[in-house]
């Protein structure tokens, strides 16, 4: 396999760190995200389905949120690498991903911009 003639662009090397989020801060934000919208209806839901099912469903929702967030961040980093920019806002990255994406997604270019 041939080596690329250029070094692969790494957006992390060119980013200015404004503020870093620690592990516990991230965990608190995740818990806030999972509980935030449904905190008022949570007790009613747990009453209807029980503790075991409620905890299992809550864990599944948390896993889906983490997976979606990792997919989003990975896509933003990949589009930053391809465009050779250190950072991109979520909206701009979404537009760039739609422009560069598969043919069935490209027909939605006008609705994203």
| Widest Cα–Cα separation across the chain | 62
What are the boundaries of each domain within the chain?
23-107
What does residue 101 show for φ and ψ, rounded to 5 degrees? -75, -170
Confidence of residue 19 (pLDDT cuts 50, 70, 90): low
Per the prediction, the chain carries an average pLDDT of: 81
- Neighbouring CB atoms inside 10 A of 76's CB total 20
pLDDT digit string, tens, across residues 59-109 = 898 899 889 889 988 988 889 888 888 888 888 888 888 888 888 888 877
Instruction: For residues 86 and 15, give the distance between their C-alpha atoms in angstroms, rounded to a whole number.
Output: 5
Contact 76, 90 (CB under 8 A): yes
Does pLDDT of 2 surpass 60?
no
Q: Give me the helices (H) in 17-50, please.
A: 23-36, 42-49
Phi first, then psi, for residue 37 (nearest 5°) are: -75, -35
pLDDT in tens, 22-61: 788 878 887 787 777 777 788 888 899 999 998 898 889 8
For the cut 90, the answer to whether the pLDDT of residue 111 exceeds it is no
């Amino acid at each position: 396999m041939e080596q690329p003639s250029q070094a692969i662009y790494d957006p992390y090397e060119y980013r200015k760190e404004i503020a870093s989020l620690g592990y516990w801060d991230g965990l608190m934000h995740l818990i806030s995200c999972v509980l935030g919208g449904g905190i008022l209806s949570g007790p009613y839901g747990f009453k209807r389905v029980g503790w075991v099912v409620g905890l299992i469903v809550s864990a599944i929702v948390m896993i889906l949120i983490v997976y979606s967030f990792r997919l989003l961040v990975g896509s933003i980093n990949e589009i930053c690498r391809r465009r050779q920019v250190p950072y991109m806002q979520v909206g701009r990255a979404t537009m760039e991903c739609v422009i560069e994406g598969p043919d069935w997604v490209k027909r939605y270019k006008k609705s994203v911009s």
